[in-house]
Structures are given as C-alpha cells and as structure tokens.
Amino acid sequence: MKDVITIGDAMITLNPNSTGPMQFVNGFERRAGGAEFNFAIGCARLGLETGWISRLGADEFGKYIKKFARGEGIDTSEVHLLEGYSTSLNFKEIQANGSGRTFYYRHPSPTEAMTPSSLSLEYFQGAKLFHMTGVFPAVTPSNVDVLTRAVTLAKEAGLKVSFDPNIRLKLWSAEQARAALLPLMHHVDLLLAGVEELELLFGTSDENEVFTIAQEYEIELVAIKKGDEGAVAWYKGETLTLPAVKATAVVDTVGAGDGFDAGLIYGYLNGYSLKEMLTFATTIGAMVVEVIGDNEGLPHLDDVLAKLGHTTVIER
C-alpha cells in the first residue's frame, strides 16, 4: 500500500549559472521541478511509498521527468506522456541572498487533457493520504474540477487529505484562488500554509483566528509556515511555536515549503507528537535552502536523523 499520493504537473526548471537579474544571466542548467513533484520526491527520499498522478508532454523533457521520478522510487503508473503537448518550463532568477523569482512557460499545460473521469478510485484505495496543493488548479481552469474529483475519491477511499494552498498569483488572481480553494477545505484534515496564503483565504493571519476557522472546517492539524521565523502548529487542542532551524547558508529558498510538507506528513503518518512533527519538518526546510535547486536539497531519512543528532554520520 502507498503511504502518500499526490496530483500535479512537473516542469523542466532552468537554473541560472549566476545570481542577479535574469536578463543578465547567460547560462542555465536543466533541472526538474514543480510543487507536487518536489513533494513526492521529498516523501520518497524519507522512505514513504509514494505515488504521483500527472500528464507530461511526449517529448524529451517529459521522458526525462518521468524517468527522474521513477529513479526516486515514485510510482508513475498514473503519469502519462501526451502527444501534441510540450512539457512545461520555468526559468529561475536567484539573487545573492537566496531569494528569487520564477518565470513560467506552461501554457498549454499537458494537464489540461485530464478530466475527472481520468482518475481511478482503485488508485486512491491503495493509499493512506492524499496531498494536494493550489498550484495544480491554478495551471488551467479545468484542473479545478479534476482536483475536486480527486479529493472526493480520496475521502470515499478513507484517506487523510493534506493541503498546501501554495498560491501562485502569477498563475491566477486572489479572487480565483479563493473561489476554487475554499470549497476544498471541507475535505481537508491537514492544512499546511504560509501566513500570506491564510490571509488571502481566511481574511486573517492571526494564529488563534486561523485555528478557530480550521476547527469550523473540522481540520485536524494546522501548520503555519513562517520562513526564517519558524513555524506554529495546532493539533488536538495543542498549540506549539518553534523557531526556524538555522541553515548553514541560504542559497536557494525554492522547495523549502515542499520539504516542510513532506517532513510533517512523514511524522504524522509515523505517529510523531506535535513537537516531533514540527521539529522534523522545520529541520528539512532548513536543509533544503542550503542547496541550489528545486529538489536537490530534499534530504534522505538518514540525513535528517543525523541532522537531528539521532544518528552519527561517518564521513571518512
């Protein structure tokens, strides 16, 4: 049985060979990325049995991404390569302090060929948890119906549902995001969100107000990601705030949130306490920002345990 399944597109990510404004960058290196794709990789590296539902172009880039996922141990039986579509691209701009911007070239997306009937109930029945983000429905309007069907199947199959709004205002407006994502909250068990996303969806970023709203939706766990300020979470009536784990160097912040999600869900599925879950997740977030790339910094379980001091790494 799979521990986790997710749905979403993936892209070829072009990473700059130098920092600064993209118009002055002369070289890029090909990588692979995408929010749900990164999350799946993060889960697989932690040892979770992971499945990914997607569509890619039947081109060299699509073949590369699918092989990449398989190489990470991700089940790709529901990832199909489609003729007539190009695999999406994004170019990254990275500043010297690790911050940056993303420029998307993803229309038409291969995922627009998906329909609610593309999804298999049997695939959901073979898993424990379904993870979704707000990126997939933002890519193309028809994906809203696909995601709605996916979360419905997940609940029919008895899965827990985790949700990271991951709102990309370059892909849709705040109003479109709110209209599409709020109805999904009724199905959510674990909400993993940033402060700005909560403000957009709930009209408040006040932690106590957010936790109250979450209870109205019958959400079991809420984790608020606050970047270099750490994280705060609510679970079973307990509230916990943890400072950020200090990174040795911040070179690329992309993928940190996806790593946090993977770490928290790993802890949840393994029966961790709230403090253990949040510590595990924030540690992974710090490890990700130390490496350039969307998912290159996502650690394996042994690396996380060593970082936490639970195991010893022998380097020589």
- CATH at residue 21: 3.40.1190.20
Q: Which domain holds residue 261?
A: 2-307
Domain presence at residue 86: yes
Domain presence at residue 21: yes
Pair 106, 9: CB distance under 8 Å = yes
Residue 237's H or E segment, with its range, is none
Q: Assess whether pLDDT exceeds 90 at residue 303.
A: yes
pLDDT digits (tens, 9 = 90+) for 161-211: 999 999 999 899 999 999 999 999 999 999 999 999 999 999 998 999 999
Q: Assess whether pLDDT exceeds 90 at residue 96.
A: no
- Please state the rounded mean pLDDT for residues 222-245: 93
Helix (H, G, I), strand (E, B) or coil at 170: coil
pLDDT at 15: 87
Helices then strands (H, E): number in the chain? Answer: 11, 13
Residues 6+ apart with CB under 8 A from 208: none
Set 258, 261, 294, 303: catalytic member: 258
Total domains present in the chain: 1
Report which residue type is found at 118.
S
Q: Assess whether pLDDT exceeds 90 at residue 99.
A: no
Token pair, residue 80, equals: 């199909």
Domain presence at residue 312: no
Q: Is 189 a catalytic residue?
A: no
Burial of 162 (0-12, 13-18, 19+ CB in 10 A): buried
Domain presence at residue 287: yes
Domain presence at residue 315: no
Euclidean distance between CA atoms 301 and 142, whole angstroms? 36
pLDDT at 48: 98
pTM, full prediction: 0.94
Q: Assess whether pLDDT exceeds 60 at residue 14.
A: yes
Euclidean distance between CA atoms 266 and 272, whole angstroms? 9
Q: What is the mean pLDDT of the chain?
A: 94
Q: Assess whether pLDDT exceeds 90 at residue 100.
A: no
The pLDDT > 70 percentage for the chain reads 98
Q: Assess whether pLDDT exceeds 70 at residue 62.
A: yes
Residues 6+ apart with CB under 8 A from 295: 31, 32, 33, 37, 38, 41, 42, 255, 258
pLDDT at 315: 52
Q: How confident is the model at residue 101 (pLDDT cuts 50, 70, 90)?
A: confident
